[in-house]
């Protein structure tokens, strides 16, 4: 089982609950319909990665998100994550009315930072930004979310049991795009005007690709 860290303590998420179409401008950029209720899908524990690994055979897109770690059914930690999407595969599956798992739940499709504690009363002050190679590409905040984090937890619990360490990815704003090998992703989370968490990842081909190339 893969783990994530909150205050240097390891947690082993049984699942990552992802929220789709939670920002108006992102819905517009992908020409989707506004949902009548939260769009929920799941990534397995095996999708977790602390590295941004890509596959040359896939057209992978980044989607930056605020992520929340759940303990005792409550939001207890916040972190940053990339929901990695195989966009061509997703478009095909959507067109044919098929499930999204092949486009969303593959290995390394949930790139996650460490988590820090967050008090529920401070969640409304959160915002985040993502830069690629020094250029701002995505930014979002609590106010822009169609469904707020606590609303989402309540909705999720109607269908799924949340165990300690489970993670909710709360949706992405506009600005999603293709990941290229070598791209430097720099991100930060702010609470009000204060940066509370920041980091970076550099996109690289997965070891699988390197092995295939050597054999070739």
Q: From first to last of the 216 residues of the chain, give the pLDDT tens digit.
A: 999 999 999 999 999 999 999 999 998 988 888 889 999 999 999 999 999 999 988 999 999 999 999 999 999 999 999 999 999 999 999 899 999 899 999 999 999 999 999 999 999 999 999 999 999 999 999 999 999 999 999 999 999 999 999 999 999 999 999 999 999 999 999 999 999 999 999 999 988 764 444 444
Residue 173 CA to residue 187 CA, distance in Å, equals 14
pLDDT at 150: 97
Retrieve residue 30's tokens: 């992908």
Q: Phi then psi for 183, rounded to 5 degrees?
A: -60, 135
At 209 the pLDDT is 66
Q: What is the pTM for the complete model shown?
A: 0.94
Tokens for 207, please give them: 């070891």
Q: Domains of the chain (ranges plus CATH)? A: 4-215 (3.90.850.10)
d(CA 181, CA 53): 9
Q: If you write DSSP's letter for every residue of 37-98 in order, what string do you get?
A: S-EEEEEEGGGEESS-EE-TTS-EEE-EEEEEEEETTEEEEEEEEEE-EEHHHHHHHHHTT-
């Amino acid at each position: 089982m893969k783990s994530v860290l909150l205050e240097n303590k390891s947690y082993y998420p049984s699942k990552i609950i992802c929220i789709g179409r939670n920002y108006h401008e992102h819905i517009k950029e992908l020409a989707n319909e506004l949902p009548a209720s939260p769009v929920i899908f799941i990534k397995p524990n095996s999708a977790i990665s602390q590295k941004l690994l890509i596959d040359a055979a896939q057209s992978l897109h980044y989607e930056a998100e605020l992520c929340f770690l759940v303990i005792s059914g409550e939001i207890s930690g916040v972190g940053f994550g990339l929901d990695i999407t195989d966009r061509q595969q997703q478009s095909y599956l959507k067109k044919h009315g098929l499930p999204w798992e092949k486009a969303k739940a593959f290995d390394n499709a949930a790139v996650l930072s460490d988590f820090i504690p967050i008090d529920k009363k401070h969640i409304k002050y959160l915002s985040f930004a993502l830069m690629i190679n020094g250029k701002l590409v995505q930014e979002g905040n609590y106010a822009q979310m169609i469904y707020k984090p606590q609303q989402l937890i309540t909705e999720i619990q109607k269908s799924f049991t949340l165990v300690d360490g489970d993670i909710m990815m709360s949706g992405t704003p506009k600005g999603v795009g293709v990941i290229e090998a070598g791209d430097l992703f720099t991100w930060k989370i702010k609470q009000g005007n204060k940066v509370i968490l920041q980091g970076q990842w550099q996109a690289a081909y997965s070891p699988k690709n390197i092995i295939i190339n050597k054999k070739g």
